[in-house]
Every structure is written in structure tokens, then in C-alpha cells.
Structure 1
Amino acid sequence: SFVSDPYWNKGIEYVKDQERGYDYKEDLYVPGYFELPIKKGESIIFSAGVGEIKPRSLSMMYNKEMKLRTYRNSFFNCLKNSAQQFYLKKQKDNYLLAGYPWFGVRARDLFIALPGCTLAVGDVETFDSIMHTAMRALKAFMEKGVRCEVIQGIDYPDILLWTVWSLQQYAKETSLEHCTAKYGTLITEIVDYIIKNKHPNLFLHENGLLYSNGHDVPISWMDAVAYGKPIIPRSGYLVEFNALWYNILRFSASLIADKPEQRVIVDRLNALGDKLALSFKDMFLNDYGYLFDYVDGNFADWSVRPNMLFALSLDYSPLDKKERKKALDVVTRELLTPKGIRTLSPKSHGYSPTYLGNEAERENAYYQGPARPWLMGAYAEAYLKIFGLSGVSFLERMLIGYEEEMSNNCIGTISELFDGNPPYMGRGAISFAVNVGEILRVLSLLKKYNHF
């Protein structure tokens, strides 16, 4: 029975809203409470919602949901449970949310998070269902220039690159043959689309490198904006775009390498890859052993940023092992933290490690130092490619920092970003798909190494 006992809680304060510069105080009204008898050994199922429901169905619904639940009794299970919470079904279509509480479905986040949130937890079927939905949106854009209403940012210049990267992870989890049979046509169409310069803001130049204009709108994942303009105007030749492009050329050639009738195409892809490898080193590798973040005309960005990691971590790299190790040493020294990889080195101009303040202050700090857990995926792959089995124990120790997050902020998941300096406080969205997905992928990768 309901007992009417109305009262007001005055001056409730919301610390996170205060940190973000929003109104953070309000009064909350409590109308009363419910009261019911319960005997020893009995269970009570209570449900509250905005619509009516038959009480007799509650027990059956509860038991059904409990059978599907992943118990949060380990680090892996916490992340698995969190990964499945990003799954979104709309009628017959399947998507992956970018995060909670305010993110929708974003193309870049979807393709980066998808392998970890599905394949790393043994859910190949969900990968296929989400990719099938995304594939329709990709083809509508490539064939007709139509932007998807649900998947935001399908037209960004790096989306096709991340799509093939995601399918490459699928090939490694299933098999090259299975991936080719299921997605080979899509990969071929994407490569052909890029080579023929059909994308409105992704241009293949004579030197084999991809060029994009990012002066007026952000074109990469570092997409903070102030007064309508990118805070970090990454434009021209972006290091991760071209690392992904080189990897795609080699990967797509490997899919058809054993087909004699495709020999001409394989040779063409590899020739373009050879040209790109030479141009990549000339364009990005500097005298200090790390990679420029982007090069636009005569301007080269010397900032030490994590985007170079993709040239070190992908299965096919334009750099040799010695060059990769030298760049990885810089990342380890200047960007690695217990909560992810910093977005900017403390030694670089503009370093701002704390994501606090009003909206403008937060936007300016967003990619100027705070650490991102999802970049640990690329870091771990790069580290294992250099150090092999001897690197496993180091990476396992680095993951310990995330375990304490399972009982902080949003229980059992990982925040969007962390301060770049101690004590590395979690900030932003309370649960972020790319972070959960890539840490799961690292756990899966380490498990495979430990089986050797």
C-alpha cells in the first residue's frame, strides 16, 4: 500500500553538473513511500515505469532477464555486460550506441567499438547484424550520397577506413575466407570508391597519400569545435588516415591473392601500397623518431599525439620494426598513463590535462591532454608486435588501472576520458563504447598470447 508522507529535499547538489559549469542545485519532492509485509524467505519484485503493466507478468519477466544477465563478478564480465548494453535494436535494424547518457549512434564510434563489443565477447552474430545495418547506410552514401538519419557522421572522410579496419578484425576472429565470402564485395567497393576519388572530402593524390580538408569542419575523431571552427585544425595529410589506407591496400590485396584471375588487381593494389610506403616515410617520419600528426602544405604539426600509434599497430605498416620501436618509445615516455593514452604530450604546446569547467573550457581541453582508454587497443598491438610475449606482463599490469573503474562512476564500465595527470579522474560520459570495446579487445589479444 502507498503511504502519503510528502516532504521536500532542499538544495540537492549535482557535483558533475557543477564541474561542467551547469546549474547544479534543485529541490526534490518526495510524495511518500510504499509499504508491504514480507515473510522470511520471500522475494519481492518491484517495478516502476511510465506505463501500466500487469503485476502477474513481473516474476516471469524478471526471471527471463536474469537468465540473460552477465554477472559482474570479474573484470571481463563487467565489460562484457557493459558492451551488450550498447546494442540497440530499432525495428529490424541493429546499431551500437556510442555511449551513455547522451550519445546516439555515431559512425566512427560504431566501427571502432564493434569488434571489441561483439567479437571479443564471442558474439559474431551481433557483429554481423550490426554490420549488415551499417553496410546499407554505407552503400546509400557511396552510391547516392544519402546520409543515414540514425548513424550520424556516415559521410566523414575516415569512416570507410575504419569500416575496413573493423572487417579486418572480423577476418582475424573468423577466417580470411569467411570474411571474403561475407564482406569481400563491400571491401572491394570501398577501395574502388577511394581510388576513384568519389568521396567529397577524401582525395587520393599522385604520391599515394590521402588528403582531406579539415580547416572548416573537423574531419577526424579529434573533433572539438569553438565558434564553429575546429580547435585542432587537423587538415591535409593525416597520419592515421594514411596508416589505415596503407593497411587497407595490403589487406584487400591479401583477400584475393590466391585468385589467378585477380592477379592484375592484386599487383595494382600492391604497387599503390609500395608508392604509399615511400611517401608516408617522407611525409611523416621526422628527425626525432616519431611521426608528425598531420602535414598541410608547408606546415607539419610537431605535436606529440597518439594518432601515430596506428602506423605502429596495424597488421600492415609502412614503417620497419626499428622505426616503429623508436616511435613507440616516444608514445610510452610521453603519452602512456594508467588510464589510457594522452591526447597530447605534456611537453607539447597547449597541454591541458584536466577536463573541467564550462563548455568552452572543456572543449578546449578535450584533446589537449586528457587520456583516452580506447587508444590502449592500438598501443597494445604495437607493443606486442615489437616485444612479443615479453610484452604481455607489462600490458597486463597496465590494465590493472581500469579494474578500479568497475566500482567508480557508472558501475562496471569505463568513462569517456580521464585527466592526463594524477589522480587520473574519470570525466565526460559515464560509459563509452570505444573504451569498453578496445579494452575487451586487448584482453582477448592477451588471452591468445598467453595460450602460446
Structure 2
Amino acid sequence: MAVMLEGGEFMSIHLDRTVTQNFDEAIGREWLDTNGIGGWAGATISNGHTRRYHGLLVAATHPPVGRMVLLSKLEETLVRDGARLELGTNVYPGAVHPQGYRYLAAYTQDFSPLFTYEAGAIVLQKRVVAIHGENTTVIQYKVIEAPADFQLELRPFVAGREYHSLTQANADINRESQLSGDVWSYQPYAQVPALYMLVPGARFVAQADWYYNFEYLREKERGLDFHEDLFTPGIFTISLQAGAQLTLIVSTENPNGRNADNLLAGERARRKNLLTALPIADDLTRALSLAADQFVVRRGADLKTIIAGYHWFTDWGRDTMIALPGLTLVTRRYDDAKKILRVFAENIDQGMLPNRFPEAGEQPEYNTVDATLWFFVAAYKYFRYSQDKVFLKETLLPAMADILDWHQRGTRYGIHMESDGLLAAGNPDIQLTWMDAKIGDWVVTPRNGKAVEINALWYNALAIYARLLQTVGRNKKAQIYQALAEKVVQRFAQVFWNPQGGYLFDVVDGEKSDGAIRPNQILALSLPFPLLGRNRARQVLKTIEDHLLTPVGLRSLSPQDPDYHPTYEGSPFLRDSAYHQGTVWAWLLGPYLTALVRVRGKTGQKQGLKLLQAVRNHLAEAGIGQISEIFDGDAPHTPRGCIAQAWSVAEIGRAYLEDLLHEGPSETITPLTKSRHC
């Protein structure tokens, strides 16, 4: 089964033939390699596609968006002594053909995906690497063993479409391609970028044809269209022998004159350099650092942002601010963190951060209450790590002042500070918190009014601003905001504590107090400035553990609640109905681990390290080397949603380094003591 190897420069995840040659196991595990501008290469380890998002070159034509699936597949066939050994795997209605996974002896992921095939007496390795900063994939073949010369046939399958859609056979596709020297070029449609392939020493034979009814199993499970037709312009043939190496370039730019092996080596070196900056280089830290790199991408000419999750998310404000510390600060990527904070600070409008940058380039969407407040936490942590006073004075503090001013007098969606100092927002028809599923006009988890984590964040925003003002010597203004923060934390104690249950109400709206046991209250313990004293913190932590804690995250609702949904599957309606109604969220493991150490000290530290064993195992379970977005609420907690989620990786990595290994900046939080207001 899966074996994690600690030796070498990169932490390796190895899957042997008991996984790779078992169809259900191989088709259920996915690999992903991203290019730093929003695109990727990715499929299952069988290299059979189960999603519309799988492809060898998924290009971001307007980084980090405008994604298009250009080269869907490159089917390999080994030809020797009249025998044809097909390494590909495809699912069709009622059939799997070819069944190349039967030749896959091993899958290894170190700095990138590596496949080892044993077909007949031939042992062939294939490595796939997405090149950082461009829409380019490098594919390298190495012949480890071969009794005699053989032919490698490569048949490209082209989708040429927007990544959310599917292609059906049509008469509009261009049936002609060109080979000039070693560079093959093909533009499937006039409005689609041209596809280039550098295939050294190859002979190309045009055999234009459609292949019909590729079946994508994950799309079928999600209640979506799941059949696609793919076009193939022809076949490349290359003669190989033992010891031979063939390295291809697949790109949206003409690769003529480029050295494919140098490209691969350069990308390997870039990823190695990421690891040299780490404060500690154990296997989990190295794995999470490479996982983190997949999400940090370019936005505009010289700024950065964070992709929320693969394969269908772009950059979202809330996810970006939550993920920033774990992706860029604990990994010591301060310059990237600064560029991310800058791009969002430049887009603040009416005191709000964008919740989402639309894919078609329209104006940002401002429809969240918490993304803006998470900005304070991300900015505060950035300063604590970097000590960058210039950026603090010139960018962060002015942005914070504008935000607080708007929130005190009121901004969009009824977001405003009430007379008691607490923050209220929304109405029953609007979803503004992270529990934001909406089906038609139905808000699945209505949380309008005063939400518990929003007010924990609001208190932190005020306390952080006061602390940072003190840092730059603006003590008089700092005292004003510190006094307001004290007012908020006192009122928080009166409004949110549930004396009958011994935990915090989830939402308070007028005279109504929602006693549903949800994980949002954990932020009152885990944020830089906690709101609970030790006795109540212990009670909240116990409630979380009794109702919500799983080995892979926190449930979004207690199983004892009548609205609890234990599984996340089926149609969009069924999935959205369960999204925040019991589904486990991996990112919440980070706040839980922080709270665990704060409340229980060294005992909590030991408990947290033991708990992370399930996360280590998960790295070889769904998206190899990644952490999924969500899991089913009931055991065995099947991974669901995105196979790679930024805040899942980030928050677990942040808590692991900061709280369990104490590798963050020196602690400056307000301690949990009996003298706190609640």
C-alpha cells in the first residue's frame, strides 16, 4: 500500500502495484501539478479521466483565470515484435479500454508525479512537471529496461474548451495540424489558443478522428453531465531502446529552441529552493510546503493571489486571507504574502474586501462579512513574521482604518456595528459568512444577525489595529480602539455564552439565540486575541470534541442535531444541502489545534501530534500530496469536494509549525486566564 519515504531531498509518497493495478484504487486517486498562474496538469494515477477538469495542459489564458483544457490526454502505446502494449486507461459506458493501469507497477510523488510501467520486458518511467509561470507541461520518458529496440506511439487527444464545459463531436474543429522540425502545432478552433508540442526525433502521421463517449465518473457522482468526445489529429512514433530518454514540451507558446530537460531541471531546483527556506525539514513540513506552492499564483503583472481549491475554484477573498499565514508565512515566503495583501488592499471598496474575482474579468464581488475581518489577522501575522514597518505604515494601517470606519457607520448588506459594539450583518435571504450555501432562494444555513465567529473576528480586528498603532507610536488612537475592543469582549460574554449548554451560541439575532452546536465558536479560542477565559475555553473545547471532532477536521454541525447530514454526495441540491450541515471541514483542524495547545499546553501538544497521523495518511488517499476540501461527517469520513484546498493545507500547516512545533514568531497573544471577561 502507500508508503511515505522520509529520505532524499523531497518527501516521497509511493504507491505500489497493490494500489496502481487495482482499478478502483487507481481511478480513485488523483495527481495534480500546477503552474503558478492558475493552470495545471492532472488526472487519476491510472491516467484515466474522471473529471472534466483533468488534462495534461489546462492553461490559464488570463492568469489566474480563463482556464481552458487544451491537451486532454497523451495515450502511450509500446510496440515491439508486433505486440501492442497500451498504457492508457479510459472509461466508456460499460467498458474500460484500454486497461493500461495493469502495467502501472508504481506511482511515486516526490517533487512531481512519477509513473513506472512494466509492460512485457520493458520498464518505462514517465515524469510530468508543470513549469512555473507559463502554460507549459514537460513530460519525460526514461527507458529503464528493454531487451531490444521498440516504438513508442503517442496519440494526443484534444479538448480545446473552457474548463467547466464538455466537448461533443462537431464539424467546426480544425482537422489539420503542422509539424515543423521537432515542433508540432495545432489550433482546434479559431477562438482557442494554439497547442504546441516539442517531440524530438518523432515521426507524425495524420489520423484525424473523434473518439466518443469518454465517461467521467466523478462528474456522474456529482449529478452533472459526464460524457465527452475528444479529437485526435494523429500519432507520433519514436524509436527507443534501453537507457534512452525522451523529453517533451507541451505549451501554448512555440517551444522551438527550448531545452526540455533544462526546463524540468529548473523547475525541480525551484521546488527544492522552497524547502531550503523552511524552519524545519521533517517529512510533513516538506510535504505541506510543496502542497502549499500549488495555490500561490500570479495575479496581474507582479502581484500574487491564492487559488482557493482545485479544480474549480479561483481566488476568493475569505479563503485567501485564512490561507495566507499557512501558505506563505510559516513557509517563509514573505514577499509572496506582501504581494497578496497588496492586491486585496488595492481592491477594498466601501470598507470591504472582494469575496471573489470573477473568471470573465468583471468587477470583483463584495458579498462577504468575514473576508475583510480575516484581512486583519493575515496582516497582523504578516507583520509579526516580517517586521515590515514600511508596508505596515503605507498600506496595511490605512486599509484597516478605512475598513473600521465603514464598519462602524455601516456598509453593504447591513454590515454595521450596533450600539453595544458588536457587529451585525445581513438578513434571512443573504449568506455572508463562510457557511454560504444557497439553493435558489433558499439559504441553507441562515446566520444573519450577530454570528459568533464574526464577532470574534471583529474583536480581533479592533485589538489588532490598536496593537499595530502602538507599534508605530500612535498611542492616543490606539487607546480609543483598545477601549472599543474591551467593550466588545465584555458584551460578547453577555450575548454569546449559553449557560445551559456550556458553549457559545452560534448566532444571536434580536431575542433569538441559535443553540446549534457548530464549529464557528472555536475561533473565540484560536484567533490571535482570544475572547474566553480558561474555564469557559475548556467547556467549549470539550463540546467541540464531544460533537464535532473527527480525525480529519471538524463537523459543521453536531450529529445530534435534527438537521445533520452525514454524507456529501449526489446532485448539486443534495450536496449543497449537506455542505455546512454536518460535512467535515479540514481547515477547521487548524483552529482546533491552536485552541488545544492554548487550553491544555504540553498535553494538548501531544494530542495534536497524534491526531495528525490521519492527515499524513490522507496525503496518499485522494489528491496525492494534498488535503481535501471536505469529508463526510460519518466514518470512514470519505474525502469529498476539491481534492486540493488551500485553507485545508494552510491551516493544518500553520498549526503544525506554530502550535505543535513552536516554530512561529514569539507568542504575543493575550493569554487564556481566569480573569478574562467570559
Picking from 134, 137, 160, the partner of 2:372 is: 160
User: Partners in 1 of 2:600 and 2:529 — Cα distance?
Assistant: 17
Residue type at the aligned position of 2:566 = P
Residue type at the aligned position of 1:289 = G
Partner of 1:75: 284
Residue range with higher mean Cα deviation, 108-117 or 188-197 = 188-197
Partner of 2:551: 338
Residue type at the aligned position of 2:283 = S
- Kindly provide the CA deviation profile for residues 359-398 of structure 1, in whole angstroms up to 9, marking residues without a partner as x: 1001101111111111111111111110112211111111
Picking from 244, 258, 266, the partner of 2:478 is: 266
Asked if 1:118 is matched to 2:354, the reply is no
The residue correspondences of 1:9-24 to structure 2 (distance < 5 A) are 12-24=214-226
Residue type at the aligned position of 1:327 = V
Partner of 1:132: 342
Residue type at the aligned position of 1:65 = E
Paired residue total:
450
> CA 1:158–1:441 in 2, change beyond 3 Å: closer, same or farther?
same
- Structure 1: any 5+ residue segments left out of the alignment? none
Asked if 1:221 is matched to 2:423, the reply is no
Partner of 2:603: 390
User: Partners in 2 of 1:272 and 1:64 — Cα distance?
Assistant: 52
Asked if 1:255 is matched to 2:453, the reply is no
How far is the alpha carbon of 1:59 from its aligned partner? 2.9
Picking from 351, 361, 375, the partner of 1:142 is: 351
Larger % of helix: which?
A: 1
How far is the alpha carbon of 1:410 from its aligned partner? 2.0
User: Partners in 1 of 2:316 and 2:230 — Cα distance?
Assistant: 34
CA contact (8 A) 1:218 1:234 kept: yes
User: Partners in 2 of 1:172 and 1:282 — Cα distance?
Assistant: 32
How far is the alpha carbon of 1:30 from its aligned partner? 6.1
How far is the alpha carbon of 1:284 from its aligned partner? 1.0
3-state DSSP class of the match of 2:249? Answer: coil
User: Partners in 1 of 2:326 and 2:356 — Cα distance?
Assistant: 26
The residue correspondences of 1:35-50 to structure 2 (distance < 5 A) are 35-49=237-251
> CA 1:433–1:153 in 2, change beyond 3 Å: closer, same or farther?
farther
> CA 1:142–1:46 in 2, change beyond 3 Å: closer, same or farther?
same
CA contact (8 A) 1:157 1:199 kept: no
- Kindly provide the CA deviation profile for residues 416-438 of structure 1, in whole angstroms up to 9, marking residues without a partner as x: 11111111111111211111111
- Give the % identical residues: 30
How far is the alpha carbon of 1:281 from its aligned partner? 1.6
Residue range with higher mean Cα deviation, 435-444 or 236-245 = 435-444
Partner of 1:60: 262
User: Partners in 1 of 2:210 and 2:356 — Cα distance?
Assistant: 48
Alpha-carbon RMSD across the aligned residues, in angstroms, is 3.0
User: Partners in 2 of 1:57 and 1:415 — Cα distance?
Assistant: 35
Asked if 1:316 is matched to 2:529, the reply is yes
User: Partners in 2 of 1:428 and 1:235 — Cα distance?
Assistant: 26
CA contact (8 A) 1:75 1:406 kept: no
CA contact (8 A) 1:176 1:255 kept: no
TM-score normalised by the chain length of structure 2? 0.62
Larger % of strand: which?
A: 2
> CA 1:145–1:326 in 2, change beyond 3 Å: closer, same or farther?
closer
> CA 1:261–1:112 in 2, change beyond 3 Å: closer, same or farther?
closer
Partner of 1:170: 382
Partner of 1:98: 308
3-state DSSP class of the match of 2:536? Answer: helix
> CA 1:178–1:377 in 2, change beyond 3 Å: closer, same or farther?
farther
Structure with more contact order per residue of length (Cα contacts < 8 Å, sep ≥ 6): 1
- Structure 2: any 5+ residue segments left out of the alignment? 1-202, 276-281, 667-678
Residue range with higher mean Cα deviation, 123-132 or 395-404 = 395-404
Partner of 1:295: 508
3-state DSSP class of the match of 2:504? Answer: coil
CA contact (8 A) 1:303 1:349 kept: no
Residue type at the aligned position of 1:413 = Q
